[in-house]
Amino acid sequence: MSLKLPNDKIVYNLQEQVGVNAENIKYLAEVYKNIDSIPAQFAEMKTYFDDTMMPTFSDWTTTFEGWDTTLSTYLANMSSAAVGAISGQNIAPATVSATTSVSAPSITGDSIIEKMSGYSFVTQTSTKGTIEYIYAGIVKNGNKLTIALAFNFTKNEGATGGVVTGRFMIPSAIMSKIYTSLGSSVDVKNGTAFPNGYSGVQIFLTVTKYDNFSLYFNIAEINALTAGVQYYIRHEVTILLSDSLLP
């Protein structure tokens, strides 16, 4: 008669079985010889956890909520540390996108171009003559706004008075900083209408503000122009947007 043990070993008599059992008992006794000290070890681990770890985990509602709070705190600390680490240092990032503002004693670069969103130009038609547009542009650099309009104008026979030559659409936040005088006038200046490349006719050019979202460019008087003759006119104006220094 034989007996197959759990380890697949086959014993053929009681003596061999007893011997194998004795070896197993010896092995188990060695493995679990410190079993009586395990409760005390767990008690020490619990005390350590309660004293050192619970202050961190005590406010956790669930595992993930607690981790979210801990992670947020960690990231906030890292962000603060990163800001402190680069303060006063020379850095060379590829692109910087600020969400509020950039402040520095001086800002230099190969090209510093202000974004011009919210600006546009509307062409005009007139019963007093033909307008052929060449260029219309507007640029803002800090507290300075420069607008330019270039066009050819041919007066109709018998036409007199003024002509609206273009309308620039401007954000209301910028328009609110543009002051007027004499009613709606923003700028009045002498201009020149050129029928050729070497002589010209003096005219008055004006910029008016009738609303809070556009500026109109005008020839104030076309009486001095000859009907049927094409004149080249360039009208440019620069407006300061800073607060007035007047008391």
Among 38-42, 99-103, 135-139, whose mean pLDDT is lowest? 38-42
Nearest one of 233, 240, 244, 247 to 190, comparing CA atoms: 233
* pLDDT attached to residue 72: 78
Which pLDDT score is estimated for 40? 72
Q: Is residue 9 part of a domain?
A: yes
> Do 48 and 127 fall into the same domain?
no
Over residues 133-137, the mean pLDDT reads 98
Listed residues 9, 39, 58: the one ending a domain = 58
H/E segment holding residue 237: strand 230-240
Inside any domain, residue 27: yes
Residues spanned by the domain of 207: 120-240
Region 88-109: mean pLDDT is 82
Q: What is the pLDDT of residue 93?
A: 80
Q: How far apart are CA 10 and CA 70, in angstroms?
A: 58
Is 188 a residue whose pLDDT tops 90? yes
In a domain? residue 45: yes
Same domain, 124 and 231: yes
**Where is pLDDT greater, at 51 or 157?**
157
Higher pLDDT: 124 or 16? It is 124
Q: Is the pLDDT of residue 30 over 70?
A: yes
- Dihedral class, residue 228 (left if φ above 0, else alpha if ψ from -120 to 50, else beta): left
Lowest mean pLDDT among 54-68, 71-85, 94-108, 177-191: 54-68
Give yes or no: residues 136 and 221 share one domain. Answer: yes
Residue 168 has pLDDT above 90, yes or no: yes
Judge whether 105 lies within some domain.
no
Contacts of 89 (CB under 8 A, 6+ apart): none
- Find residue 194's DSSP bridge partners: 232
Per-residue pLDDT of 112-130, as tens digits, reads: 888 899 999 999 999 999 9
Which pLDDT belongs to residue 60?
56
Residue 39 vs residue 205, higher pLDDT: 205
**Is residue 97 situated within a structural domain?**
no
Looking at the structure, do residues 52 and 154 belong to the same domain, yes or no? Answer: no
Domain count, the chain: 2
Q: Which of 84-88, 163-167, 227-231, 239-243 has the lowest mean pLDDT?
A: 84-88
How much is the pLDDT for 24? 72
Query: Does residue 144 lie in a domain region?
Result: yes
pLDDT of 177 higher than 70: yes
Residues 54 and 125 in one domain: no
Domain membership flag for residue 50: yes
Instruction: Give bridge partners of residue 45 from the DSSP assignment.
Output: none
Residues 126 and 204 in one domain: yes
Average pLDDT on 85-107 reads 81
Residue with tokens 């005088």: 181
Q: Are residues 127 and 236 in the same domain?
A: yes
Residue 218 pLDDT class (50, 70, 90 cuts): very high
63 lies in some domain: no
Q: Residue 54 pLDDT > 70, yes or no?
A: no
Same domain, 131 and 203: yes
